[in-house]
Amino acid sequence: MKNKKAVFSHRVDRGLRDRKETMDCSSRSSSVSSVTSVVKVFNLLSTGFILVLLLSGNSFAQDHSGHTSQPTATPAPRQAVPPAQSSPTARPQEAPTITISPDKLQLIGVRTAVASYRSLNKSIRTVGKVEPDETKLAFVNTKVGGWVKKLFVNFTGEQVTKGQPLLSLYSPDLVTAQEEYLLALRQIRSSQTGSTGFAEIDSSRKELLESSRRRLQLWDITDQQIEELEASNKPRTDMIIEAPVSGIVLEKMVLEGGYIAPGMNLYRIADLTNLWILADVYEYEVPLVRTGQAARVTLPYYAGEPLHATVSYIYPVLDPATRTVKVRVAVRNPGMLKPEMFANVEILVSSGSRLTVPQDAVLNSGLRQIVYVEKKPGTYEMREVTLGQRGEDHVEVLKGIRKGERVVTSGNFLIDSETQLRGAGGGGGHQH
């Protein structure tokens, strides 16, 4: 009985296990089938998407090929369009205008001036150094060697006059030349009292006398000194050196008792009645300077009337270090000017009659210059102008303004700003 029960329970357990295994297998197969179904659906969708892309690509290719495969039509020749100015209906571009109420005008403080012809005056202010007039400079020297016996002018700065004795010189060569001249002179005088009868001998004596006289003259012996030598009939042991010009002794290079060689400079004398002032003018102002222009010279430490001068020369060389050109101004010295002084120089530049406007009327944007013209009270027109030479207060207008037109000189900056705010094409900014 027990064996039967054991067999029965064993069979039951085995049946249950078989059923459970069967259920597990069916569940696994159902899961696999589900995954397989999902994969199949995904494959179908992918295939459809690819087909759609292929179809759309073919249609796009057909459309594109159809578009490009059409024969290109030859464009019809264009007819020449006449230029705008030839058209009778074309209008010139009007300049921007702006109208401002009287209240705003009074608040802005607008003032105007008339464009007119005038002479532009400009002053070039610079500094110069006082120099002696080079045409009035003189060096004192001798053409013979010797020893200085006495100095009559023995310090620098002394005033001398032309012909004034400067020093006495003993020269053996000069004494010998005087003796030769006196010997030739005695022979001529003796021949006049008793002729030798030989014309050639008389001619040779005259030539010897003239040669001796010319030698003394070449050594700077004056005719007056030669006459004194003839009158005394005795050679002088000392030669007097005289001042060749009147002026101030700027340099003295000789001492009493010293030996001087031929050609050695003994004195430098300058006539300071008229002086030069060498002024430095910047290269951008040089084109405005002309010889003959008037100039004014003032000294910062001398409170008085300015000295009137004249531009006498413009040097042809530019100083690369200072970018300036030397301009020579000639001035008469009233006595207060000294060489090597510094002085203020004002060169007066004046041009002919030109159409001008006040400089305050021009707005400079950097690229162009703008002027506002009053068309009627409260209405202003913007003009682009071309400028020329500038003066102290006015500037020349080459293009853009006509004589008699009124231009804004005060408040134009605010008018231009108002024009830009209203979008009327203002000056585009300003630079002052």
Q: Do residues 383 and 335 both lie within one domain?
A: no
pLDDT given for residue 432 in this prediction: 41
Q: Please give the mean pLDDT across all residues of the chain.
A: 79
Strands 363-364 and 111-114: unpaired
pLDDT given for residue 159 in this prediction: 94
Strands 274-282 and 324-332: antiparallel
- The answer to whether residue 62 sits within a structural domain is no
The amino acid present at 76, given as its one-letter code, is A
Share of the chain above pLDDT 70, in %: 73
- The answer to whether residue 295 sits within a structural domain is yes
Q: What is the pTM of this model?
A: 0.60
Edge to edge, the sheet with strand 247-252 lists 137-141, 265-270, 247-252, 159-160
Phi and psi dihedrals of 336, rounded to 5?
Answer: -90, -15
User: What are the structure tokens assigned to 163, written together?
Assistant: 């012909």
Residue 86, SS3 per DSSP: helix
CATH number for the domain that contains residue 247: 2.40.50.100
pLDDT given for residue 350 in this prediction: 81
Share of the chain above pLDDT 90, in %: 38
Q: What is the pLDDT of residues 45-104, one digit of tens each?
A: 555 444 444 444 444 344 444 444 444 444 444 444 444 444 444 444 567 888 888 888
Across 346-360, average pLDDT: 88
Q: Which conformational region is residue 353 in: left (phi greater than 0), alpha (psi within -120 to 50 degrees), or beta?
A: beta
C-beta of residue 124 within 8 angstroms of C-beta of residue 285? yes
Q: Do residues 148 and 258 both lie within one domain?
A: yes
Q: What is the pLDDT of residues 210-236, one digit of tens each?
A: 898 998 888 888 888 888 888 888 888
- The answer to whether residue 63 sits within a structural domain is no
- The answer to whether residue 73 sits within a structural domain is no
Q: How confident is the model at residue 192 (pLDDT cuts 50, 70, 90)?
A: low
More confident residue, 311 or 367: 311
pLDDT given for residue 344 in this prediction: 95
pLDDT given for residue 74 in this prediction: 44
Calpha distance 168→149 (Å, rounded): 6
Through-space distance between the first and last CA atoms of the chain, rounded to whole angstroms: 131
pLDDT given for residue 60 in this prediction: 39
Q: Do residues 264 and 304 both lie within one domain?
A: no
Calpha distance 8→3 (Å, rounded): 9
pLDDT given for residue 75 in this prediction: 45
Across 196-200, average pLDDT: 62
Element (H, E) at 85: none
* Count helices and strands in the chain by DSSP H and E runs: 6, 21
> For the CA atoms of the chain, what is the radius of gyration?
56
CATH number for the domain that contains residue 407: 2.40.420.20
Calpha distance 261→148 (Å, rounded): 11
Q: Strand locations in 231-378, DSSP E? A: 239-242, 247-252, 259-260, 265-270, 274-282, 294-298, 307-319, 324-332, 342-358, 363-364, 369-376
Nearest Cα to Cα of residue 96 among 371, 392, 383 = 383
- Helices marked H in 365-411 — which ranges? none
Q: Does residue 287 register a pLDDT over 80?
A: yes
Q: Do residues 176 and 111 both lie within one domain?
A: no
Q: What is the pLDDT of residues 293-340, one digit of tens each?
A: 999 999 988 877 899 999 999 999 999 999 999 999 999 999 889 999
Q: Do residues 328 and 390 both lie within one domain?
A: no
- State how many domains the chain has: 4
Please name the residue that has the structure tokens 């030397």: 326
pLDDT given for residue 365 in this prediction: 80
- The answer to whether residue 83 sits within a structural domain is no
Length of the chain counted residue by residue: 432
Query: DSSP code of 285?
Result: T
Q: List Cβ neighbours of 120 (8 Å cut-off, separation of 6 or more).
A: 350, 351, 354, 356, 389, 390, 391, 394, 396
pLDDT given for residue 416 in this prediction: 82
- The answer to whether residue 348 sits within a structural domain is yes
Calpha distance 309→347 (Å, rounded): 9
More confident residue, 8 or 206: 206
C-beta of residue 143 within 8 angstroms of C-beta of residue 262? yes
Q: Do residues 407 and 322 both lie within one domain?
A: no
Nearest Cα to Cα of residue 413 among 358, 374, 372 = 372
Q: Do residues 258 and 286 both lie within one domain?
A: no
Nearest Cα to Cα of residue 206 among 223, 227, 191, 226 = 191
Q: Do residues 407 and 283 both lie within one domain?
A: no
pLDDT given for residue 101 in this prediction: 84
Q: Do residues 340 and 374 both lie within one domain?
A: no
Across 190-209, average pLDDT: 71
- The answer to whether residue 375 sits within a structural domain is yes
Q: Does residue 29 register a pLDDT over 80?
A: no
Q: Do residues 49 and 32 both lie within one domain?
A: yes
pLDDT given for residue 221 in this prediction: 84
More confident residue, 404 or 428: 404
C-beta of residue 390 within 8 angstroms of C-beta of residue 359? yes
Q: Do residues 249 and 163 both lie within one domain?
A: yes
Q: Of 270, 290, 315, which closes a domain?
A: 270
Q: What is the pLDDT of residues 137-160, one digit of tens each?
A: 999 999 999 999 999 999 999 999
Strands 137-141 and 265-270: antiparallel
CATH number for the domain that contains residue 339: 2.40.30.170
Q: Of 41, 57, 73, which closes a domain?
A: 57
Across 128-133, average pLDDT: 95
Least confidently predicted of 95-99, 126-130, 147-151, 278-282:
95-99
- The answer to whether residue 388 sits within a structural domain is yes
pLDDT given for residue 95 in this prediction: 72
pLDDT given for residue 73 in this prediction: 42
More confident residue, 126 or 43: 126
Range of the domain at 112: 97-118+354-421
Calpha distance 264→353 (Å, rounded): 57
Q: Do residues 113 and 30 both lie within one domain?
A: no
- Helices marked H in 113-251 — which ranges? 172-193, 199-218, 223-232
pLDDT given for residue 81 in this prediction: 44
